[in-house]
Amino acid sequence: MDKNTQLFQYNLDWKTFQRVLYYTKKYYGMDALYFYEANPFKSEEEFVLICFRQATEFFVRDETIAKYIEPIAEDEKEVLFWVFRCIDWAFIRAELKEQAEGESIEDCIDVGEYYHQAMRKELLGLYLFCKETPVRPKMTNEITLTINKGVKNFHRKITIPNYSNWMLRSALLHYCEEHLGDIHSVEEARVALKSYQKAGRTSSNPIADCIIYGTYSMLKDVTKDPKVTSTRLCKIITCFLYYLEMISEDEAVDEQLVAGRIKYMLKMDKKPRFIPMSYSEMNEAERAAFEAELHRPLHNPRFDDLL
């Protein structure tokens, strides 16, 4: 954290904080431990938040956003403002803990979600490459593997004779087939890969996806917005991502980037959320309820060897 960064302090009362937790747990997966240490403060105490900026700035300074949230009851609107402030504080706490070699926010995302969204796409491309590359049987089919090209100290290169194309025909192809259990042909792989290419231009970022989907779901519920991806809703999410420094200034003026990401997640039935910090302490029933809400295992067992 830049030592010159301007910070704001807020005092949040216990009663309001409990209402905030309802939203952060339901829509983002963030339980109380994201916002304070293991020993909770007493009910008569106030909860101190530290934020980078005034977290409600982007609500009030933009007319289209202000109009979108206008129907929300004032008391609920105030709670939503606190939700955004608390999320800001959670990221600051994670950064401070990481600087102190503690647990970072990246440790609290569903890593399996990355492999669902990014690794599967890569495996589909590799599957097609393996299936469509001509084979010279009983001859060398030389392959050169290069990694981290242009990155000093990490760049490596190896040339393999690849007799009878064993790497693509057997090793890599079998690996792809094992991890793409629903793909049985080149045609199916092309269709699956095409759905990724159509789903939106934004790249997969597990942390940003948690913020995008959580904010989207929360505001859709409280505003009863009937549109799938209204421009005003996407503008709020875009502004929040920019506020959290997850997107650039150029990206912050294009709400369609977020709209494309939302459509992709809806199409693929993905509900990315942060893992509750108390997950390790949950009993079996509580874990099952959390995982059922995501409609899939917390960590996809088909990708365990990649984690």
Q: Return the amino acid letter for 138.
A: K
Task: Give the whole-angstrom CA distance, residue 125 versus residue 179.
Answer: 13
- pTM given for the model: 0.67
Task: Give the whole-angstrom CA distance, residue 294 versus residue 13.
Answer: 31
- 173, 128 in Cβ contact below 8 A? no
> Dihedrals φ, ψ of 290, to 5°?
-65, -45
- Per-residue pLDDT of 106-135, as tens digits, reads 666 655 555 666 688 889 999 999 999 999
- 53, 9 in Cβ contact below 8 A? no
- 232, 68 in Cβ contact below 8 A? yes
Helix (H) or strand (E) holding 51: strand 46-51
**Considering just the CA atoms, what is the radius of gyration of the chain in Å?**
23
- Per-residue pLDDT of 138-183, as tens digits, reads 999 999 999 988 777 888 999 999 999 999 999 999 999 988 888 8
Q: Which pLDDT belongs to residue 143?
A: 95
Helix (H) or strand (E) holding 269: none
SS3 of residue 110 by DSSP: coil
147: β partners: 156
Q: Which pLDDT belongs to residue 158?
A: 95
Task: Give the whole-angstrom CA distance, residue 31 versus residue 86.
Answer: 11
Task: Give the whole-angstrom CA distance, residue 127 versus residue 130.
Answer: 5
- 247, 238 in Cβ contact below 8 A? yes
Q: Which pLDDT belongs to residue 91?
A: 86
Helix boundaries (H) for the chain: 14-23, 57-60, 63-69, 74-99, 111-114, 120-132, 166, 172-179, 186-198, 206-223, 231-243, 255-267, 284-293
Task: Give the whole-angstrom CA distance, residue 161 versus residue 175.
Answer: 20
Task: Give the whole-angstrom CA distance, residue 187 versus residue 194.
Answer: 11
Q: Which pLDDT belongs to residue 281?
A: 66
The number of residues in the chain equals: 307
Task: Give the whole-angstrom CA distance, residue 266 versus residue 178.
Answer: 26
Q: Could you state, in chain order, the average pLDDT of each consecutive group of 10 residues for the chain (307 residues)? A: 61 87 94 73 61 60 78 89 90 76 63 64 92 93 90 88 95 91 90 68 72 94 88 89 83 84 85 80 71 57 58
Q: Which pLDDT belongs to residue 141?
A: 95
SS3 of residue 44 by DSSP: coil
- 234, 262 in Cβ contact below 8 A? yes
Chain-centroid distance of CA 23 in Å reads 17
